Each structure stands twice: as structure tokens, then as C-alpha cells.
Amino acid sequence: MFTIFLCAALYAQHSSSISPSEFFHEARQAWQVERGHIWGRSLVGPLLLVDPKTRQVWASEPDAEGQLKDQQGVFTGILPNDVGVANTAMEWAGKRWSMVLLPLPDKALERQVLLIHESWHRIQPSLGLDVPDLLNGHLDKLEGRYWLQLEWRALSKALVTSGKTRQSWVAAALACRTQRQSLFPNAVEAERSLELKEGLAEYTGIRAAGARNLAMEKLQKTEGPFARSFAYASGPAYGLLLDAAAPGWTRRVRRATDLSVLLQEAYHLRAATSADAEVAAAKLGGHDLRAQEEIKDKARQQRLATITEPLITGPTLRVPGPFHVQFNPSNTEALEGGAAYHPTATYRGDWGRLEVTGGSLRSGDWSEARVIAPTDQKARPLTGPGWTLELAPGWILLAVEPVGSFKLGREKKEM
């Protein structure tokens, strides 16, 4: 078994002068405006701000275990090392929190979307929508990228039109989606699941903030990798189009819901064919896009081969599963067989804590992760090119092939 702590909102964050108390005030205002209209459930709840470097935490209310201290209505403390740090929802100190990392976005609108996004994640299980978080590696392959971007072009046109014109662009978007999903096994379920998990959260934030322009921007400016970031663009677009054609649709969403099916029904469209997809592609500039994507795909394959080769051939350090991993979905590269390359990540297991800043390779079955071999096996903390490992007591390095490689193992106790 494994748990993934993921950054749940993809915003460029900068130094912000807003204080924790001011952010909590913004949160209360945003919650008051939304008032549970979207999901029939209030988004009001415990909120944590965390400095990921120091693990200093500021809370909007006291915890249930007395770990935080009241400082003029803001509750502060240090988050334990075994708690994952990310933009997410999590259980800690007797409560379920929405966690938001510092620094906050400079723009108030982006802060509001981020806040509502994480507030929705906090109530997500109570809505019956706590679905698996599936990586969509096919969306970073040539055909996946090509048909996804055509779908987004059609969705962009649908959002700024109305009537029969909107309906035709919705049909074009669904045709491109159907064509893409027909090319990759399991694509329907993987895309559906991530759109429910992250797409609905982002839609909720954008709708509550009235940030329709931000939804358009995501469709037009998101460049990938798409394996995990795509839902932040697709989800809001589908949600806003459903708002227009099927008000109250959120009350009908269940774990098995496919947003594209809801959209097809709402706009009274027939099932799309491959011929429909080719017609849509011609209208959406598919010829030029494919030429561009072929060049990008060749460059991507060369880049991935270069950065992953040292982690495949060694020498490496291998850390065993099960582990928790926190990573940035906007820079994660999906590889064959469900494996992933994380340029930056934090892994936690019984063996300790691994902080990666220079690249790691996670196996498809989650049985291990690899980094470049350490420079000094006796150093503590253990370090190597682009990583630091705080090794837990009772764990040691064991030599493995190829020469110079190691894996973590438990120290054998003498009888």
C-alpha cells in the first residue's frame, strides 16, 4: 500500500506580504460568499498555513490535542516530521485540515481559488468522491498530447460562444477526447478519476471565485507535462459548461461519474466517431499542431533518456517501498509501466526521509525509488548528487549490483 501527498493546486507562487491572519480573514470571506451553493455542503473548516522549509504552522482554529498555541487568535506550532507537507487535505492532531503552503500567491484571486480548492478536498470524502489518484502517462505521449490539446482548443471556443455554436464546439471537444481514449488502454478510467479528484476541486475554486478567465488561461497556456496537471484545466472547463446546460449537476456526481458523459447528455449529443475527430482536428489547426508535437516528442524522448539513464544503469541508491511521496505534479514525467521521474520529491518510509532536488526514479509497482549513489556511505545525514537522506535507526546500506550501488535494509541484530 502507498499514500501520495500531492501538490493540489498548480499556481506560480511568489513572495506575498499577506499575513496568516489576513489570509484567514480572506478565507472566511470566500466561504461566506460560496455558502455551500455549489455542493450543498459548507466549505468552512480548519485551515493550516505551513512554511515547508521550517515546518512552522499557523492555524485558523485550535487543534484537538493542544499542540498549537494561541497567539491573538492565530494558533501556531511546528508540524511533526512524519506529517507530509503539501497543498492538500489531511488528518492531524484530531482534526481534518485544509493545508496551504507558503508563500501564498500574490494575486488575491489566485489565493481565493487555491483556498477553495483545498477546502473542497477537505470535504471530498464526505461527498463520496474520494477517488483514486491515477497518473495519466499517456497524455505525455505524442498522440495523447495532440488530442488533448485539440480537445482544449474546442473547449476554449465552447466557453466563449453560446447556442448551437457552443453545442458544436462541445461536440468537437468530445470527439477529440473519444479519439484519444480509444488509442490507450485504461485511459477512460484514469482520466475520469483524476478529473473527479483534482478537476472538481479546481472547478469549485474557479466557480466560487468567479475566475472564468483563469479557466480559459489554463486551457490555453498549460504546456505540460500533462500526466497529472491536465485535470486542472479540463475540470473547470467541463464544470462551467455543465453549469450552463445542466444547473445543479454537482448534486448528481458520484464516484463512477464521467464528466464527459454528463456533458454529452447535457448538450444532447450522439456518440462521436473517428471521422468526427478528424473533422474537428481540421477545424482546430490539427495539421500544424501535429507537426509541432512531433518535434516536441522527439526532444522529450531524448531528454528523458538522458536524465533517466544514470538511474537505470547505476550506480544508484535504492529505497524500498512502501513509502509516502510528496511531489510536484507540474514537473513529474510519467514513464512506461506506471513508473515516474520526479525532479523534486520528498519520500518517507520506515527507513527515514529522503529529500530529492536533483531527480529520482519511482518504479511502476511502487516497490522502490532510486537516486544516484551516495558520495560517502558513512556520512550522516547520507547525501548524494541532488538528495539528502535522514536514515532511521536500525537501517543500513547494503551493497548490490552493479558495483557502487546500494539498497537500504534493516540491520541484523546479533543473537
Query: pLDDT tens across 242-300, in order?
Result: 999 999 999 999 999 999 999 999 999 999 999 999 999 999 999 999 999 999 999 99
User: What's the confidence (pLDDT) of residue 415?
Assistant: 57
pTM above 0.85, yes or no: yes
- Looking at residue 272, the DSSP 8-state letter turns out to be P
Strand order in the sheet with 360-362: 333-334, 340-342, 360-362, 368-372, 316-320, 405-410, 395-400
Residues 6+ apart with CB under 8 A from 155: 169, 170, 173, 219, 234, 237, 238, 241
Tell me how far CA of residue 383 lies from CA of 30, 188, 215, 304, 395, in angstroms: 44, 41, 42, 24, 15
Residue 104 in 3-state DSSP? coil
130 vs 297: CA distance, rounded Å: 34
147 vs 138: CA distance, rounded Å: 11
Spell 139-159 as b/e; 16+ CB within 10 A means b: bbbebbbbbbbbbbbbbbbbb
- Long-range own/partner contacts, residues 13-17 (CB < 8 A, 24 or more apart): 13/101, 13/103, 13/104, 13/105, 14/103, 14/105, 14/106, 15/103, 15/106, 16/103, 16/104, 16/105, 16/106, 16/111
Spell 37-57 as b/e; 16+ CB within 10 A means b: ebbeeebbbbbbbbeeeeeeb
User: What's the confidence (pLDDT) of residue 2?
Assistant: 36
136, three cell numbers:
495519466
237 vs 212: CA distance, rounded Å: 9
Burial label, 287 (beta-carbon count in 10 A; 0-12, 13-18, 19+):
exposed
Residue 83 in 3-state DSSP? coil
190, three cell numbers:
484514469
User: What's the confidence (pLDDT) of residue 10?
Assistant: 40
* Residue type for position 228: R
Q: Output the CA torsion 132→137→140→143 (10° steps).
A: -110
Pick from 269, 198, 273: nearest CA to 236 = 198
User: What's the confidence (pLDDT) of residue 330?
Assistant: 78
Q: Is 265 left (phi over 0), alpha (psi -120 to 50) or beta?
A: alpha
Domain spans of the chain? 3-127, 137-284, 311-410
Neighbours of 341 (CB within 10 A): 19
User: What's the confidence (pLDDT) of residue 3?
Assistant: 40
- Cell 473519444 identifies what position? 178
* Residue type for position 236: P
Q: Is 394 left (phi over 0), alpha (psi -120 to 50) or beta?
A: left
Per-residue pLDDT tens digits for 64-87:
999 999 999 999 999 998 888 889
User: What's the confidence (pLDDT) of residue 414?
Assistant: 65
**Segments in the chain below pLDDT 70:** 1-16, 414-415
